[in-house]
C-alpha cells in the first residue's frame, strides 16, 4: 500500500469517529455540510474554482447520472 493510501485511510477513520460521535441525524447532517464546505475550500485553493466545479460535476454525474446543473437528470 502506498503511503498516500495509508494517510487517506487514517483520515477516513478519523472522519468515521467524528460521525460516530454524533448523537442525532441533525448533527450528522451538520457535520457532513461542514466537511463538504471545508473540502470545497481546500479544492478551490488547490485546483481553482473551475477545477473544483469540474470535479464536483463529474462526481455528481458518476453518482447520479447526467447532471446539467439544476438538479435534474
* pLDDT tens figures, 41-59: 999 999 999 999 999 999 9
pLDDT band at 67 (very low <50, low <70, confident <90, very high): low
Domain count, the chain: 1
- Predicted TM-score (pTM) of the model is 0.75
- The pLDDT score that the predictor gives to residue 1 is 80
Taking CA 59 as the corner, what is the angle to CA 73 and CA 63, rounded to the nearest 5 degrees?
55
Q: Tell me, yes or no, whether 40 lies in a domain.
A: yes
Q: Tell me, yes or no, whether 69 lies in a domain.
A: no
* Domain of residue 25, residue span: 3-47
Q: Tell me, yes or no, whether 12 lies in a domain.
A: yes
List CB contacts of 66: < 8 A, sequence separation 6 or more.
73
Q: What is the DSSP string of the chain?
A: --HHHHHHHHHHHHHHHHHHT--SHHHHHHHHHHHHHHHHHHHHHHHHHHHHHHHHHHHHHHHHS---SSS--
Amino acid at each position: 500500500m502506498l503511503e498516500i493510501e495509508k494517510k487517506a485511510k487514517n483520515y477516513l477513520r478519523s472522519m468515521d469517529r467524528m460521525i460516530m460521535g454524533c448523537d442525532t441525524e441533525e448533527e450528522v447532517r451538520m457535520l457532513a455540510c461542514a466537511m463538504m464546505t471545508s473540502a470545497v475550500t481546500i479544492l478551490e485553493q488547490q485546483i481553482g474554482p473551475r477545477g473544483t466545479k469540474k470535479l464536483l460535476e463529474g462526481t455528481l454525474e458518476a453518482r447520479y447520472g447526467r447532471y446539467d446543473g439544476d438538479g435534474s437528470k
